[in-house]
Structure 1
Amino acid sequence: MSRVLRVAERGWGTYRGITAAVREAGTGTVVLVAPGTYHESLVLDGEVTVTAAKGPGTVRITSAQGPAISVVGGAPVLRDLDIEGKGGGPAVLLRAGRTALHGCTVTKGAVEAAHDARLALHGCTLRASGGDGLRLGSTASALMRECLVDAAGRHGVHLADAARAELDGTRVVGAAGCAVTATGTASVTAAHSFLGECGEDAVRAAGQARLLLRDCRLYDAAGHALHAEHAGPGPGTAPAENAADPDGAAAGRAEPRIRLERCEILRTGREGVLLAGTSDARLADCAVGETGSAALHAVGDAVLVLDRVRAVDLGETALAAGERAAVRATGCTFARVEGNAVYLRDASAAVLTGCTLSHTTLDLLHLAAGTRAELQDCTLADGARHGIRVEPGARLAARAATVERAALCGVDVAGGDAELRGCTLAACGTGVRLDTRHRPLLDGCEVRAATGNGVHLARNTGALLADCTVDGAATAGVRLDEDSEAWIDGGAVTGARGSGLVVWTGARPRVRGLRIAGAGKNGVYLHDAAAGLFEDCEVSGAGYPALYAGPRVQAVFRRCLVADSGEDLSADDTAAPVFAQCRSTGVDTVSMPQDESAPTARPHGLAPAPHTPGAAAPGDVPEAAEDPLPTLLAELDRLVGLERVKADIASLTKVMRLVKQREEAGLQPPPLSRHLVFAGNPGTGKTTVARLYGRLLAGLGMLAHGHLVEADRGALVGEYVGHTAPKTTAVFRRALGGVLFVDEAYALVPHNQPSDFGHEAVATLVKLMEDHRDDVIVIVAGYPEDMDRFLASNPGLASRFTRTLSFDDYTSTDLVHIVEHQARSHQYRLHEETVAGLRAYFDGVERTERFGNGRTARQVFQRMTELHAERVADLADPGPEALTLVLPEDLPRTAVHS
């Protein structure tokens, strides 16, 4: 049985002071304190219990000097005591041992623990008007159950160093600073607790602190509900990597440093959640509302993972990310927002899966320049502006997403890139608007009931539309503005109140297997000087002539059917459309040339006829057009040096011409791989020849455009898992109809790095080359000794690159010719002694790996002009001769390298 000692102001057998009783107490002693006020400073070191004999509110201990209670060891227990400090310091100071406070009230000073002290607070009230309510440092720890921390002069609960705290059913309110703050490597676990009503943040974490909050309410904070700004190592090798790997597997950690589960965040002066630095957090089943700024905001290198989070009724953006932050949201709702539902800026990235974004005064999803977003099975509805806005340099990849009732555009790609697969856009202003130098992809998408155009390509924009359906657009089903280049493969345009497909001046679409039905105006409207290729298309039920060709239109229609319309064709006298194997049926006025052998209809759902290498490109003109090949071959011949390359290109051109002639004669083309390897040192004209090769094939009708798209490792290989394939695909799409030139291709497969992302880029290229074998030429280039290793890195490369063109280094004579050409182009003349000196100069240049061939020649010429300028500047009145004549003294004296 425990020994009992009594403390009272009077009475036989009692101690007059608590200190005296404690001094006499042994292990397990209970000190019963009678009601009263005791001016003492207790020092406890042992297993003793000090309790108010008559219960809470009857015993008051006020500090005589320093803390009212100091624990230097042991395991003391304090019950139902009112403990009052002197102010300006701790009221209860724990230096060591294990201390428990039950039903105690602490005022005018903090409860402070340091070193290895262990503290348990049960049903206690802490009112430290001058400092922190509870302060833990070093490796101290505390357990708080059913406690109240109220009106702290600084922070309610403050953890530093490696301290640990667990809060259960605790209320921390009224702090001038934060309700809870943790720094260093401290950790806080809280459950069923109320944290807020404070002058700064409800919860703040810094350093490497960890937080786990379950079933908590964070509310009425003048700052943020949660503010984390971790420093030091982040959650992974790159912030965006963790958007694809939110569990931190890349860093070998099973869980993020901050976790909130089933928490409510309400009424904050600033953001609800702000992550900065290298912070990483996961919120699950949480609700956020009535925040003063963004509900959820990640910046720096932070990683934010959201599962089933609701952020609604907000005065600003629901979810924002900036700098290099990465966000992954699954099953979340962002709704009723005065601003954007989701806003990304800088180089941030987001992955949204199964999320709902609705009712915003701005865009539902806004991707500012340089950002990336992936959407899967998301619903975006009722935005006052755009459903999704993609700005220059931003990239969107959306699968099975639904965008409804966006006032301006369902998806507006303004300078960025986008890939939409299986998406639905309903009742938006414009379903999809594309205005970009990239070639966005719409695959299997549906656009319904647009109040403007269904799909709108702005000027100079290219895009790929595969198996898309556009229904019920209030104006045009698909509108292609000036000089746009759309490839439309399959799909349908139905019920447009305007024309089904509008092709404006200079646009050159390539359309295969498209069904256009029930247009209020023309099925296909070709504006002045429009062009294009239409194959295996069907136009029916048009209110105006099914096909309209304005002045100077040059379009080709092959195997097309016009049905059930008043008139099949209306063409301006200056229009020159070409029809092959086309037919009309159920048409009152037939003007289109008929081919009775043409099929009456192509069954819906069948794939369109494949495009063959010799088929006409968009905008084919009548056969009387001037042949561009002699001009291009002459341009090739004028190149300096490269005799073997010129012969190879000329030979390839003859083979390609034969292929075209055989196809036009109805014969099978011979097996042929058009992709090439250019092996040679830098500056040997590889890019120039690649550009000419594309133009030659376009002149033969083997490529639609023949343009050149240059790429290297940086353009094709991503920075994190899942980034490479989309990045490579985007570059490849820009090259469709032309040449993709990959310089230093061997850099895609570094030595002895089998897990490098470059291997994924190569595999993606191989598949895309197979899928688009007739639509693009791929040329890979690099040092001769490295290209064999590159071709051996993937089994599919060797079979697709069967021909190598070797680019020899330029001779000194070649380099002199290049300089002479530069001089003529810039209105300079070389003295004959200058030419001789120039040849001697190139003979003496060391041909190291840094030697740039033609690039070196151009740099030498630039240096010569600089030296010439320095010499002529000293002349009083230089005439035309002096201003243009380059003398031997203008030759550089030192080597010039690239």
Structure 2
Amino acid sequence: MAQGTVQVTHTGTSRWRRRTGEYASLAAALEAAADGDVLTIAPGTYRENLVVQRAVTLRGPEGGQGSVRIAPADGVPLTVRASAVVQDLHVEGQDAAAPAVLVEDGTPELLGLRVVARSASGIEVRGSARPTVRRCTVDNPAGVGIAVLDGGGGVFEECEVVAAGQAGVAVRSGAHPRLERCRVHHAAGSGLTATGEGSALEAVGCEVYEVRGSGVQVTGRATAHLTDCDVHRTTGDGVTLDTDAVLTLADCRIHDIPENAVDLRSRSVLTLTRTTVRQFGRNGLSVWDPGTRVDANQCEIFDSTGDYPAVWVSDGATAVLDSCRVHDVPDALFVLDRGSRADVVDSDLSQVRNTAVSVSDGATAQLDDCRIRDAATGAWFRDHGSGGTLNNCTLDGNRTGVIVTKGADPTIERCTVDSPSEAGVYVSAGGRGSFLGCRVTGSAGYGFHVIDGCRTTLRKCRTERCARGGYEFAEGGPDTAYDSGPLVEDCTSDESTGLAASAAPEPVVQTAAQSPGLLGSIPGQRTMEQEPLIAAAAPSEPARTSQAVLGELDALVGLDSVKREVRALTDMIEVGRRRRRAGLKAASVKRHLVFTGSPGTGKTTVARLYGEILASLGVLDKGHLVEVSRVDLVGEHIGSTAIRTQEAFQRAHGGVLFIDEAYALSPEDAGRDFGKEAIDTLVKLMEDQREAVVVIVAGYTAEMERFLSVNPGVASRFSRTITFGDYGPGELLRIVEQQADEHEYRLGPGTPEALTAYFTKIPKGPAFGNGRTARQTFEAMVERHASRVAQLSDPSTDDLTLLYPEDLPELP
């Protein structure tokens, strides 16, 4: 479209200076215009760098929104330094070192602009500028969508960032904008970010989604306040706070987050009011470090999609939950490490698969007037120095109400435990605790079960309708030696008149007629029932031959040494089978394997193929793969870990049990959990079921070496270690080529070379995902390709299929 003319209408009253008329260029029109003039731009493309320094109105023709394009070859297309009105223009920026629209001074109004750029930023506000920006759209896949810097401010209303190569909205260096009813999506960085002391961001009624970083990031002493906002479908955390950041969320919704919904560290402070957090892959609230604090009031955290606690408080942090609901999660609240504290008031914790409240490593939890329902464990104080108070709480329908172990010493006061399926209160392994005025009713096991001579105090407690007895003090009782066993005062049960230390006709302690076994007396035990016999199914189609499966293995990109190792092992098994058929002795081949290497190198895929090979050779019945990790094997009570590990073996019977990150079973601080029990059970089952299950343990090379070195019993069960090396640039290129072929894309001229250079330069740190990185790169290219092709009115088949070097994402 050719450049048109500019109509200037003079609105002043001066008789000696008339500026009304047409001008051939915008620069000439702006030079002639004075404050109050209206510049109406004819449709066309203007290759000019505009600088608006007077309070004029600059607009496109009536009803012709988007028909005026400001598109210079380089530099800043539009600079505003006055309280002007700029309306209905299409601004294109091509300079990677400059913004497309720059506002430097005044209180201008930017209305209905569409900014399409490959610039440092789409719209940038600096210094003393305080613009009002309404209904503007920014599409800038090369840089920041909207940047407010150096003390700048202003209001952005009903604006949309449809693509950004970095942050969607960035606030830095003391800037303080307000966003109202804005949408930010498809940013390669964070959706909204505020950084630096004095920087402040306020957002009302906004939506952030489909961003590759955090939805909202506040760092470095910045502050932010979000009201009635939605943050969802991010690649990273939903909300991130770091280094003395302060954030308030009111009436917000954070959901569909694959990582932590909210993560705060380093003395940051978060206040949540009437905010919902749901569908998160890791923690709903993750709170770390001394001085870090979260206050949640009338909030709801629920519907976790992962295997992590909903609220995690550690390393000296503090969390306060008031009138909150946490439900449908694996664990509700984990508080750990000395100095960490959680205060929970008038809140509901329910539908918890494991533990509602876990306190460990010297942490403290205070719960007042709370309700804990339908959890495996209501509250578990785990170890020495861990404590706190449960006051006037109800624990209803949990497997076990309260557990105290390993020197923990909480105070449980005026609490009611109703209908536990195993025990109301369970104290073992040196646990202490004071239970004052508590009540257990309707237990399917014991009311209070104290073993190992634990020095627990029970005062004015009562039990009713407990199937196995109200009180059980194994290995010690209330009138044993002073320094051993529980202290019982004024406790009663519906089975007797009371429990007292003085002699009485009735036994002091109600004890089962026959002592149950170790597993039988521990809350958390699972009942192992005989599965019904199933009639033999009709013969299935024959499995693939080993050569066919090896062909699929050979088709994988790279992994040459892995392929040689698997082939060598397959040949050993095959020849051994043939020797036995011929009546000859065959060497015994241990089939259990160790896979070491970084994530994304194909370990799980090779494990699946290995199982299929063994099935085709008749070594395994099925050859299916069962993938587990620590969370699937390690239980919460003594004995439950062995049962979980046995169940995993049962699922893998006839196939391969693949234990990812196996070193997590043996952490360096191994005294904190039951991982050793899983390892001991694993070793025994590998021997007992060596013909029925093949075990593969996998993880990072260094960590797996440590794991095997400190567990020689495990190491002796594995025949060999197969190392999966990182992919090189050429192999990563081949993965992208395969992805492109599968999804009907092609690499355009120069793209293979650009990809090779990209994969050569990409950092190979902990975030590097090998094959996963290659696939993510392809996905990013497709996304950027879509942003580019969407601007074409009639794209050809080549336009729709060819990926060019410009579609490559920025290096992380």
Q: TM-score normalised by the shorter chain: which range applies? A: 0.5 to 0.7
- Secondary structure, in 3 states, of the residue corresponding to 2:62? coil
**Aligned twin of 2:58:** 50
Shift of 1:438: 6.5
AA matched with 1:65: D
**Aligned twin of 1:291:** 280
CA contact (8 A) 2:52 2:84 kept: yes
2:85 to 77, 90, 94: 77
Q: Work out whether 1:168 is the aligned partner of 2:180.
A: yes
The 1:549–1:195 alpha-carbon spacing in structure 2 relative to 1, beyond 3 Å, is closer
AA matched with 1:137: L
AA matched with 1:75: S
Q: Deviations over 1:870-889 (max 9, x none)?
A: xxxxxxxxxxxxxxxxxxxx
AA matched with 2:337: D
**Aligned twin of 2:32:** 24
Following superposition of structure 1 onto structure 2, how do residues 185-204 of structure 1 map, counting pairs within 5 Å? 185=197, 186-204=199-217
Q: Work out whether 1:37 is the aligned partner of 2:28.
A: no
CA contact (8 A) 1:450 1:473 kept: yes
2:435 to 432, 436, 442: 442
The higher radius of gyration belongs to 1
CA contact (8 A) 1:5 1:32 kept: no
- Secondary structure, in 3 states, of the residue corresponding to 1:406? coil
AA matched with 2:470: G
Tell me the distance in 1 between the aligned counterparts of 2:363 and 2:489.
Answer: 34
Following superposition of structure 1 onto structure 2, how do residues 685-724 of structure 1 map, counting pairs within 5 Å? none
For structure 1, the residue ranges without an aligned partner over 5 or more in a row are 7-11, 235-256, 487-502, 525-531, 551-898
The 1:327–1:225 alpha-carbon spacing in structure 2 relative to 1, beyond 3 Å, is same
Shift of 1:37: 1.3
Q: Work out whether 1:518 is the aligned partner of 2:495.
A: yes
1:469 to 450, 462, 467: 462
Following superposition of structure 1 onto structure 2, how do residues 99-114 of structure 1 map, counting pairs within 5 Å? 99-108=108-117, 109=119, 110-114=122-126
- Secondary structure, in 3 states, of the residue corresponding to 1:23? helix
For structure 2, the residue ranges without an aligned partner over 5 or more in a row are 1-6, 12-19, 515-812
Tell me the distance in 2 between the aligned counterparts of 1:139 and 1:350.
Answer: 37
AA matched with 1:221: T
**Aligned twin of 2:312:** 320
Shift of 1:92: 0.8
**Aligned twin of 1:220:** 233
CA contact (8 A) 2:461 2:492 kept: no
- TM-score, structure 2 length as denominator? 0.57
CA contact (8 A) 2:456 2:485 kept: no
**Aligned twin of 1:119:** 131
AA matched with 2:9: V
AA matched with 2:190: C
The 1:547–1:505 alpha-carbon spacing in structure 2 relative to 1, beyond 3 Å, is farther
AA matched with 2:169: V
Tell me the distance in 1 between the aligned counterparts of 2:447 and 2:323.
Answer: 29
Following superposition of structure 1 onto structure 2, how do residues 780-799 of structure 1 map, counting pairs within 5 Å? none
Tell me the distance in 2 between the aligned counterparts of 1:445 and 1:128.
Answer: 62
**Aligned twin of 2:297:** 307
**Aligned twin of 2:650:** none
Tell me the distance in 1 between the aligned counterparts of 2:437 and 2:126.
Answer: 64
**Aligned twin of 1:4:** 9
**Aligned twin of 2:218:** 205
2:472 to 472, 479, 485: 479
Q: Work out whether 1:350 is the aligned partner of 2:342.
A: yes
**Aligned twin of 2:155:** 143
Tell me the distance in 1 between the aligned counterparts of 2:492 and 2:252.
Answer: 52
Tell me the distance in 1 between the aligned counterparts of 2:274 and 2:513.
Answer: 58
Tell me the distance in 2 between the aligned counterparts of 1:402 and 1:79.
Answer: 61
Following superposition of structure 1 onto structure 2, how do residues 364-513 of structure 1 map, counting pairs within 5 Å? 364-428=356-420, 429-435=422-428, 437=430, 439-483=432-476, 511=488, 513=490
The 1:353–1:455 alpha-carbon spacing in structure 2 relative to 1, beyond 3 Å, is same
Following superposition of structure 1 onto structure 2, how do residues 481-630 of structure 1 map, counting pairs within 5 Å? 481-483=474-476, 511=488, 513-518=490-495, 533-534=501-502
Tell me the distance in 1 between the aligned counterparts of 2:152 and 2:510.
Answer: 82
CA contact (8 A) 2:435 2:459 kept: yes
- Secondary structure, in 3 states, of the residue corresponding to 1:117? coil
The 1:115–1:105 alpha-carbon spacing in structure 2 relative to 1, beyond 3 Å, is same
1:154 to 159, 163, 166: 166
**Aligned twin of 2:252:** 263
- Secondary structure, in 3 states, of the residue corresponding to 1:335? strand
The 1:364–1:135 alpha-carbon spacing in structure 2 relative to 1, beyond 3 Å, is same
Q: Deviations over 1:837-865 (max 9, x none)?
A: xxxxxxxxxxxxxxxxxxxxxxxxxxxxx
**Aligned twin of 1:788:** none
Tell me the distance in 2 between the aligned counterparts of 1:383 and 1:75.
Answer: 61
- Secondary structure, in 3 states, of the residue corresponding to 1:19? helix
Q: Deviations over 1:520-566 (max 9, x none)?
A: xx998xxxxxxx8327x795xx9x9999999xxxxxxxxxxxxxxxx
Tell me the distance in 2 between the aligned counterparts of 1:80 and 1:448.
Answer: 71
Tell me the distance in 2 between the aligned counterparts of 1:161 and 1:222.
Answer: 26
Q: Deviations over 1:818-852 (max 9, x none)?
A: xxxxxxxxxxxxxxxxxxxxxxxxxxxxxxxxxxx
AA matched with 1:384: A
CA contact (8 A) 2:461 2:491 kept: no
Q: Root-mean-square deviation (CA), in Å?
A: 2.9
Shift of 1:96: 2.6
Shift of 1:468: 1.0
AA matched with 1:143: V
AA matched with 1:372: T
Tell me the distance in 1 between the aligned counterparts of 2:481 and 2:427.
Answer: 15
**Aligned twin of 1:341:** 332
Shift of 1:205: 0.5
- TM-score, structure 1 length as denominator? 0.52
The 1:140–1:364 alpha-carbon spacing in structure 2 relative to 1, beyond 3 Å, is same
- Secondary structure, in 3 states, of the residue corresponding to 2:236? coil
Q: Deviations over 1:455-503 (max 9, x none)?
A: 12222311222211111112121112324658xxxxxxxxxxxxxxxx8
**Aligned twin of 1:276:** 265
Shift of 1:396: 2.4
Shift of 1:200: 0.5
* Residues 391-400 or 374-383, more deviating: 391-400
Q: Work out whether 1:179 is the aligned partner of 2:191.
A: yes
CA contact (8 A) 1:375 1:401 kept: yes
Tell me the distance in 1 between the aligned counterparts of 2:511 and 2:62.
Answer: 99
Tell me the distance in 1 between the aligned counterparts of 2:148 and 2:386.
Answer: 46
Shift of 1:513: 4.3
The 1:194–1:512 alpha-carbon spacing in structure 2 relative to 1, beyond 3 Å, is closer
Tell me the distance in 2 between the aligned counterparts of 1:43 and 1:419.
Answer: 70
- Secondary structure, in 3 states, of the residue corresponding to 1:294? coil
Tell me the distance in 2 between the aligned counterparts of 1:546 and 1:277.
Answer: 52
Shift of 1:278: 0.8
The 1:513–1:174 alpha-carbon spacing in structure 2 relative to 1, beyond 3 Å, is closer
Q: Work out whether 1:98 is the aligned partner of 2:107.
A: yes
Tell me the percent identity: 26
